[in-house]
Amino acid sequence: MKTNIVLIVALCMLCITSCEKKEKEEVIDYAILHGNIKNLGDLKVFLFDNPAVNGPITVNPDGTFTDTLHLSQNGYVKLRAGYSTIDMFLSQGDELTFTTDIASQDSPTVFTGESAAIQQYIMTKSESQVSLMQDYELFFGQEPETFISDINSLKERQMKALDSSVFPEAFKKIESKALTLFQMNLKMRYASHQKYLANGDDSMIPEGFLEDVIALNKDNDTDAKQYNSMYLEIVTNDLINTLEAKKDTVAPFLEGIVNELENYKSPTIKNHILNSMLFAFSPGESDVHIMKDRLLALASDEKLKEAITARYDKIKKLVKGQPSPTFDYENFKGGETALQDLKGKYVYIDVWATWCGPCIGEIPYLKELEHTYEGKNIEFVSISVDEKNDYSKWRTMVANKELGGTQLISENAFSSEFIQDYAINAIPRFIIIDPEGNIVSADATRPSDANIKSKLDALDLK
């Protein structure tokens, strides 16, 4: 009997000891990345396209660094060093070293470590994908049959290389889906480009062209974390296409986005789309207070919540009747022009840049408005946010396109005080200010909008 008791006690002690050991075992949820970046100089290094590790990397003066990256799961990530981008696949438990020379295009990036062969494969794959789209207009402008043949041929070559490799089966499974997602992305871009070329007509897209995209589960949090932009770009574009199809009945853009997102379950998807669409949270919203609360309710990322609150704090000052932020900018015709100089007139402001396609597209409509309201107490002012090194391009375009109204250029592009005060981070943007210098609309109707003349006619234009 004593022997049995001793045995039972011993087993209990063994069990307790085993439990204690398991509790003390380290959970490896990280990868260690070592880098040696030659000729970096003062350029910055950061990780992106993976929310778990996105952010800057502290680099030593000699271009070396070591960073521990905590991963929620194995997945893809991009590293930007200056103007160079390195694609990688990181797994929990990885210790990876790479050496690269960003001053030499002929110098290859070299990886060492257990997953070095996988990283080399990822880089080769990325290069072939970029090469395929080298001439964007030609690639996305070709006939549907040729386009499908090209992307199928690329995928077949990449699948053959993947299948014949000795990579772990877990990676092969993930990468196989990544290749499929990339192909779906190309098909969505092709359909969008063809629709653009046909001025909104999508009848040239063959039936069933986007069948695989339609069938894809677009509310999968695991895929959102693992494939990042490869998956999230599809989800985002699909959502925008959904709203576009409902444009005659749907609410304003951001409200439409929020209405749709409230039906999503994936926090990663909601955070991503909110972050990418935050620019649309503007003074044009009918009730910025309610929209702020809805955005915060959808967001689960603390930095995103801070960004939403910060944007709200700016745009709540831009409601109708509030004094407008002011400007005093260089005038194309010489000297400087300030908002104060235009007091006594309504001011319709167009914030634009020479590199902005949609901005250029508004020019004919803006000229028409200037002609229609010539002699009325309204001044049409265009403010360029071109960078200083594009100053000559601005002067050339104003002259060549014979732009009318008052043509100004901001002193510091998007960082200019007036641009910042109006929370402008996407253009074109239009603003209306009354004769007393107060805001009428901080996000006004575009010149190309069919309702613009009725909006201007509602003002007290003499």
Residues 150 and 124 in one domain: no
Rounded CA separation 221/193 (Å)? 28
CA-based torsion, 197, 202, 203, 207: positive or negative? positive
Residues 50 and 194 in one domain: no
Q: Which CATH number fits the domain that encloses residue 414?
A: 3.40.30.10
Q: Where are the alpha helices (DSSP H) in 98-252?
A: 116-132, 136-141, 144-163, 169-197, 211-215, 221-227, 229-245
The reply to whether 191 falls in a domain is yes
Rounded CA separation 232/215 (Å)? 15
Residues 100 and 152 in one domain: no
Tokens of 61: 């003066």
The reply to whether 4 falls in a domain is no
The reply to whether 21 falls in a domain is no
The reply to whether 451 falls in a domain is yes
The reply to whether 302 falls in a domain is yes
The reply to whether 398 falls in a domain is yes
Residues 6+ apart with CB under 8 A from 54: 46, 47, 48
Tokens of 51: 């929310």
Phi and psi at residue 37, in whole multiples of 5°? -110, 110
Q: What is the pLDDT of residue 25?
A: 58
Q: What is the pLDDT of residue 251?
A: 58
Measured N-to-C along each axis, helices 253-261 and 288-298 cross at an angle, to the nearest 10 degrees, of 30
The residue among 292, 316, 340 that closes a domain is: 316
pLDDT of the chain, 462 residues: tens digit per residue: 444 444 444 445 544 455 554 455 567 889 999 999 999 998 999 999 888 899 999 999 999 999 999 998 899 999 999 889 999 999 999 999 999 999 887 888 999 999 999 999 999 999 999 998 889 889 999 999 999 999 999 999 999 999 999 999 999 999 999 999 999 999 999 999 998 888 778 888 999 999 999 999 999 999 999 999 999 999 999 998 888 877 655 557 888 899 999 999 999 999 999 999 888 888 765 588 899 999 999 999 999 999 999 999 988 888 888 999 999 999 999 999 999 999 999 999 999 999 998 999 999 999 999 999 999 999 999 999 999 999 999 999 999 999 999 999 999 999 999 999 998 988 999 999 999 999 999 989 999 998 899 999 999 887
Count CA atoms closer than 13 A to 275's CA, side-chain side: 18
Q: Which CATH number fits the domain that encloses residue 51?
A: 2.60.40.1120
Residues 173 and 303 in one domain: yes
Residues 165 and 238 in one domain: yes
User: Which residues form the domain of 219?
Assistant: 140-316
In our burial notation (b when 16+ CB lie closer than 10 A, e otherwise), range 223-240 reads: bbbbbbbbbbbbbbbbbb
Residues 126 and 148 in one domain: no
Tokens of 456: 């201007």
Residues 75 and 128 in one domain: yes
Q: What is the pLDDT of residue 264?
A: 97
User: What is the CB neighbour count within 10 angstroms for residue 324?
Assistant: 22
Q: Say which DSSP state 81 is in.
A: E
Pairing of strands 95-101, 45-48: unpaired
The residue among 296, 316, 336 that closes a domain is: 316
Alpha carbon distances (Å) from 365 to 145, 268, 372: 38, 40, 11
Residues 107 and 209 in one domain: no
CA-based torsion, 90, 155, 232, 285: positive or negative? positive
The residues facing 290 across adjacent strands are: none
Rounded CA separation 199/206 (Å)? 17
The residue among 104, 132, 160 that closes a domain is: 132
Q: What is the pLDDT of residue 11?
A: 44
Residues 149 and 290 in one domain: yes
pTM metric for this prediction: 0.77
The reply to whether 17 falls in a domain is no
The reply to whether 430 falls in a domain is yes
Q: What is the pLDDT of residue 29?
A: 87
End-to-end CA distance of the chain: 110
Q: What is the pLDDT of residue 3?
A: 47
Residues 215 and 269 in one domain: yes
Q: What is the pLDDT of residue 315?
A: 86
Q: How many domains does the chain have?
A: 3
Rounded CA separation 286/283 (Å)? 8
Residues 127 and 272 in one domain: no
Count CA atoms closer than 13 A to 20's CA, side-chain side: 6
Residues 304 and 164 in one domain: yes
